[in-house]
Amino acid sequence: MRARLSPLLAAGLLLALAIAAPAQAQVNTQSEEQERTQGAGAGDTANAPVLPAGGPFRALDLYPPRNFGYLLGDAIRHEIEIALDPAYHIEPASLPRARALTYWLNLQNVRLEDLGIREGTRRYRLWLDYQTFYAPLEPKRLEIPALTLTASDGIRSTDAKVPAWSFVMTPLREVAGSASGEALRLRSDIAPANVPTRRLVTATIGAAGVALLALAALAAQFGWGPFRRMRARPFAAALRAIRRAGPELDSSSTSSDSPVYRDALLALHRALDATAGRRVLAEDLPGFLDDHPDYRPAAPELETLFAASRRLFFAADAGSAGTLLAPKAVPGLARRLSAIERTAA
Amino acid sequence: MQTQSVASPAAGSLAPSTTGPQPGTSLLANPLLATWRERALAFEREVGKAVLGQERVIRLITIATFARGHVLLEGDVGVGKTTLLRAVARAIGGSFSRIEGTIDLMPADLVYHAHLGEDGKPRIDPGPLLKQAGDLSIFFFNEINRARPQVHSLLLRLMAERTVSAFNRDYFFPHLQVFADRNRVEREETFELPAAARDRFLMEIAVDMPAQADARRRLIFDPRFHDIDALMEEVREGVLDPTQLDTVARAIQTGVTASPVLETYVTALWDAVRDPAGHGIDIPGVEMDRLVMGGASPRGMSYLVRAARVRAWLDGRDMVVPEDIRAVFPEVMAHRIFLDPVYELRRDALVAELIAGVFATVPAP
């Protein structure tokens, strides 16, 4: 539990520090400005840092880049290595803030890396990213001002100065341009490179194909569009079923209590149900004919069908059912209804 | 609902033009059923004299009478429930008794009549229920939902067993048929009937306004319908003989057959009502797998077939067809289906849709 808490505590502490740091930095800004003006006044000093003797600073090394050949807008990175007594640490508030230092110089970024304690020395590395916007008319020496860092052990604190650094900036072009001004003529744009899209196109076409197939499957399932006619022919399906049942029905010897006759009547009932979209009972026949007037010519046959199926299914009287609607007449009735269905659709 | 003459019992427009044995011949062969069918149709005509535009309700009451079932009428105030019941009682004949449900009515008030005699002494005489003793053929219960649950439970026994205990002995009412009515407008000072009592009613019939404009006009302007007592005089008394109704009812139940295919159909209907989701019945905006909590008791299903047989007989058939089941299903079954409480408030509409869905889904034959 405690082990789990300690990183949390450390993080909390860091957070508090981070919140405190900018506030302190603001306070220190003024003194820093003073330092800088002093540094500038001191003139072109060497890169050697000014270290208070006997202080906690054991080393403060500035590693600047080349000090010539800079143009308008160039970035300059200073890397500073700091060695301290292990008891001391760099006061974060003493670090410069990223801001516009002068009208031509911006401090873009400040980063301090704690390298930890090695061989009895605490080491830091500090990066300062400057950007110059000076537009010289001729090569000109400029100076990045000095800055002061503070080391503290919690009670005492000591300052050390990072020296000013000077460099030479060069104009981009001559002051008086050549007469024709050809050098400044805009060049045509670089032709854009082709982005490789073959794979994307292939994938798109493939996905579209899959989507179309899925749509087709869905349409078949729900009976949309071209599949509608296929679905909407229940009597054709009934006729097929009755034909499958075979020539048995056609032969005059088939009696009306055979299962083939039963199945044939059931197939016709199911086709009627499917056409109406609900179950059609004998009493519903007039309503069915009102909804589907195409079947009106077959009304007497349909009445016979219902009368026969009533006798067969509900009176268990296959004999009179067969008399009403002979088994061999069933395929004919199915053909008749299927023909009506085709013309109606 | 049209009445048909016995001469062409095969269902009207569905009669095949081909020759062959006419369906229903065996019914005509049984003279008891044939003559009683005539009397049943005459009964409907007599009641129809007093009540306009309620042919379906009259047909259902006829079915209930010949199925020997009790009936609960439900409807708005002033649609003629009481008039209808008085006409029915008069046409059936036999003695009848009537009581109004009130909040302070207790079971003893039905059974006993407590009063002061001429000599000034308190007397206990038989109450409205016992007055006619065994001859009682019709018992009216007006506004049944105003009576307390104690009364309902007395009624429970009266309806189920046709007996009542009083004066230290059991009274038996062999020909009793209970008619009750309640209006569905008022809810104050009413008691909902317990499910067990409702299950004892064969039918719950909703009485609505007459649909035809002509009937409505006549009900409003024809002075004949304003004097209820005079109207009752027009109804011929005792068209049916209540003492014989039991015999006829038994003959109907044995004389009208239900085929195995119909048995399968009714069983499938039962399954579909209890599990509509499993049968693909869908009502928009309703979770079908929680809609029906239960109900549709086996007693309800047996009542259903009983009523369907009577309807087939009234149509002049000797067999039950799915149409018979469908015609009596809402009245016999709707009040036996228990819905999830969430849907209870929309009960009427949902049960009607459920029943329509069941009949549109279950295949017949």
SS3 of residue A81 by DSSP: strand
The nearest CA of chain A is from the CA of B281 a distance in Å of 12
B321/A310 touch (CB, cutoff 8 Å), yes or no: yes
Instruction: Specify if A183 maps to a domain.
Output: no
CB within 8 A of A72, min separation 6: which ones? A132, A133, A134, A135, A169, A172
| Residue A47: strand pairing partners | none
The pLDDT of residue A14: 53
Q: Which residue of B has its CA nearest to A310?
A: B321
The pLDDT of residue A198: 93
Q: Which of B172, B101, B162, B173 is nearest to B137 (CA)?
A: B173
CB within 8 A of A270, min separation 6: which ones? A234, A238, B363
Q: Does any CB of chain A come closer than 8 Å to the CB of residue B122?
A: no
Gap between the terminal Cα atoms of chain B: 23
In order of A191, A204, A243, the CA distances from A343 in angstroms are 65, 43, 21
| Residue B171: strand pairing partners | B164
A313/B262 touch (CB, cutoff 8 Å), yes or no: yes
On whether both A80 and A159 belong to a single domain, the answer is yes
Of A122, A146, A172, the residue at which a domain comes to its end is A172
On whether both A162 and A243 belong to a single domain, the answer is no
* Domain region containing A125: 19-172
If you compute the radius of gyration of chain A from its CA atoms, what whole number of angstroms results?
49
Mutual angle of helices B322-333 and B260-274, in 10-degree steps: 40
The nearest CA of chain A is from the CA of B298 a distance in Å of 22
Instruction: Specify if A23 maps to a domain.
Output: yes
Please, what are the domains in chain B?
A: 49-239 (3.40.50.300), 256-365 (1.10.8.80)
What DSSP designation does A164 have? P
Of A139, A172, A205, the residue at which a domain comes to its end is A172
Task: Report d(CA B177, CA B240) in Å as an integer.
Answer: 13
B115 confidence band (pLDDT: 50, 70, 90): confident
The pLDDT of residue A79: 94
Q: Does any CB of chain A come closer than 8 Å to the CB of residue B320?
A: yes
The nearest CA of chain B is from the CA of A203 a distance in Å of 40
The pLDDT of residue A280: 85
On whether both A92 and A145 belong to a single domain, the answer is yes
Structure confidence by residue, pLDDT tens digits, B271-328: 888 888 888 888 888 888 888 887 778 888 888 999 999 998 888 888 888 888 888 8
On whether both A226 and A299 belong to a single domain, the answer is yes
Say if CB B173 and CB B154 are below 8 A apart. no
CB within 8 A of B282, min separation 6: which ones? B288, B357
| Residue B113: strand pairing partners | B125
How many C-beta atoms lie closer than 10 Å to residue A215's C-beta? 12
Beta strands in chain A (DSSP E): 57-63, 75-84, 89-90, 99-100, 105-118, 121-132, 140-144, 147-152, 157-162, 165-169
Chain A residues with CB under 8 Å of B323 CB are 281-283
Instruction: Specify if A203 maps to a domain.
Output: no
Single-letter amino acid code for the residue at B364 = A
SS3 of residue A113 by DSSP: strand
For the whole model, what pTM was predicted?
0.62
A307/B321 touch (CB, cutoff 8 Å), yes or no: no
On whether both A222 and A307 belong to a single domain, the answer is yes
The nearest CA of chain A is from the CA of B165 a distance in Å of 44
Q: Which residue of B has its CA nearest to A266?
A: B365
A140 confidence band (pLDDT: 50, 70, 90): very high
Angle at the Cα of A162 (from A156 to A164), degrees rounded to 5?
Answer: 150
Interface test with B, best of A314, A325, A333 (most B CBs within 10 A): A314
Chain B residues with CB under 8 Å of A314 CB are 258-259, 261-262, 319-322, 365
Instruction: Specify if A311 maps to a domain.
Output: yes
Q: Does any CB of chain B come closer than 8 Å to the CB of residue A314?
A: yes
Q: Which of B218, B1, B208 is nearest to B84 (CA)?
A: B208
Interface test with A, best of B18, B26, B264, B269 (most A CBs within 10 A): B18
**Average pLDDT of the residues in A57-82:** 92
CB within 8 A of B196, min separation 6: which ones? B156
Q: Which of B147, B149, B113, B151 is nearest to B130 (CA)?
A: B113
On whether both A160 and A219 belong to a single domain, the answer is no
In order of A228, A325, A333, B15, B321, the CA distances from B20 in angstroms are 41, 10, 19, 11, 20
Chain-centre distance for alpha carbon B54: 14
The two three-digit tokens of residue B219, written as one number: 């009900």
Omega cis (within 30) before A86: no
Instruction: Assess whether pLDDT exceeds 60 at residue A322.
Output: yes
Instruction: Specify if A114 maps to a domain.
Output: yes
Least confident of A71-80, A181-190, B94-103, B232-241: A181-190
Instruction: Specify if A186 maps to a domain.
Output: no
The shortest CB-CB distance from A310 to any of B18, B20, B23 is to: B23
- Indicate which CATH number applies to the domain containing A127: 2.60.40
Compute the mean pLDDT over every residue in chain A, rounded to the nearest whole number: 79
Structure confidence by residue, pLDDT tens digits, B209-247: 887 888 888 888 887 777 778 888 888 887 888 788 888
The pLDDT of residue A145: 92
The pLDDT of residue B207: 86
Sheet arrangement for strand A99-100: A57-63, A75-84, A121-132, A105-118, A99-100
Residues 51-80 of B with CB under 8 A from A: none
Which pairing describes strands B177-183 and B337-339: parallel, antiparallel, or unpaired? unpaired
Instruction: Specify if A250 maps to a domain.
Output: yes
Instruction: Specify if A326 maps to a domain.
Output: yes
Chain-centre distance for alpha carbon B44: 14
Task: Report d(CA B24, CA B3) in Å as an integer.
Answer: 16
On whether both A23 and A168 belong to a single domain, the answer is yes
Q: Which residue of B has its CA nearest to A283?
A: B323
B248 confidence band (pLDDT: 50, 70, 90): confident
CB within 8 A of A250, min separation 6: which ones? A328, A331
On whether both A121 and A241 belong to a single domain, the answer is no
B365/A313 touch (CB, cutoff 8 Å), yes or no: yes
Task: Report d(CA A198, CA B168) in Å as an integer.
Answer: 101
Q: Which residue of A has its CA nearest to B23?
A: A311
Q: Which of B30, B54, B346, B342 is nearest to B206 (CA)?
A: B54
Predicted ipTM beyond 0.85: no
In order of A75, A105, A129, A161, B301, the CA distances from A102 in angstroms are 15, 5, 14, 19, 98
B363/A314 touch (CB, cutoff 8 Å), yes or no: no
Domain count, chain A: 2
